[in-house]
Amino acid sequence: MIPVLRRWYERHFSDPQVVILAFLLLVGFAVVLFAGRLLAPLLASIIIAYLLEGAVRRLVVWRIPRMAAVTLVFLVFMAVLVASLLVVVPVLSQQITQLVRELPNMVVQGQNILLQLPERYPQFITEEQVREIMGAIRAESIALGQRVVNLTLTSAMHAVTILVYLVIVPIMVFFLLKDKEAILGWITGFLPRDRGLANEVWAEVNMKIASYVRGKFVEILIVWAVSYLTFIYFDLNYALLLSFMVGLSVIIPYIGAALVTIPVAMVAYFQFGVSSEFAYLLVAYAVIQFLDGNVLVPLLFSEVVNLHPVAIITAVILFGGLWGLWGVFFAIPLATLIQAVIRSWPRHGHIPDVEALSSPDRETD
């Protein structure tokens, strides 16, 4: 057994650059996994600064001094943050409260509809099945109410922490942008000089992750805005809340769109019933989802990420389970990192390319 392990180690870790790359990956994942909560403000600041760096770099290309570019981008970021806190967040909170208050009435109406099903379709559903469904609905409603109450209490208890974050994070973002070169120089001073493999992996990952994350934020904003205008046109209740959910649903590939359809359809049904408004709204919503998947996504992410759907879903489940919403959002970038490491890792023998597996015109046996 020991000789087998020794040969495996010599085959994969004989190159010092491979050891350096593996060490950096292990340290990065360990820091996020074990110290993620403690370093949450720093990690959030790094992510935000990383996103804003693209705009700063664009202004610098237009011959604007970097300090002026950093100041301008930071002021725009703060304006958006303040507007969100003063306008969007209060409306979202109000609509969530209204929806929670209306939920019991919706449950009662849903139960009345279910009670009519055995009479209309006795060959498909029985009264016993309806009672089981109603019991499950009551249990889920009670659990949802408890979760909302617990969330409210938790939010109230951590209000001071949130306020501190709102002060600390913008300050850290500004200095991360302002002193980027000095900070990177200080960090690289602790790294080995011979790190060509790590630099190669980072160059590929940086290009794809930067394009993906910025494109995903643009997609969220566009889908949110279009959905909000559509819901407002149809005078749908909780328009801002539902459109916000539709915008966030694009974070989870393949699954998010299906999940968010349920609350949109339920609110529309209980407001309009089986009517032309209900049908038109669902058609408009389907058009939004179609344009997002077939026009917006290819436009924003063309050739940025080339992963097999199974790899994407696995990454969402794995990293979402580890880090929650942040893990879901960064599931595809993290999967891209793993893909880049696998492609760059020195190996003996032939290993199929991950991109070849995701190619639609790949030959089949």
pLDDT tens digits, 232-287: 999 999 899 999 999 888 877 667 788 888 889 888 988 888 888 889 999 999 99
Round to whole Å and give the CA distance between 56 and 65. Answer: 10
Round to whole Å and give the CA distance between 186 and 189. Answer: 5
Residue 224: pLDDT band with limits 50, 70, 90: very high
What pTM does this model have?
Answer: 0.69
- Amino acid present at 196: G
Q: Chain-centre distance of CA 299, in angstroms?
A: 19
pLDDT of residue 335: 76
Round to whole Å and give the CA distance between 200 and 254. Answer: 31
> Which has the higher per-residue pLDDT, 230 or 4?
230
Instruction: Tell me the percentage of the chain whose pLDDT exceeds 90.
Output: 13
Who contacts 218 (Cβ-Cβ below 8 Å, separation ≥6)? 300
Task: Indicate the average pLDDT of the chain.
Answer: 76
Residue 360 has pLDDT above 50, yes or no: no
- Amino acid present at 120: R
Kind and range of the H or E element at 216? helix 196-233
DSSP 174-200: HHHHHTHHHHHHHHHTTS-S--HHHHH
Can you say whether the dihedral through the CA atoms of 181, 187, 193, 198 is positive or negative?
negative
34-60: per-residue pLDDT in tens? 766 777 788 788 888 888 888 898 898
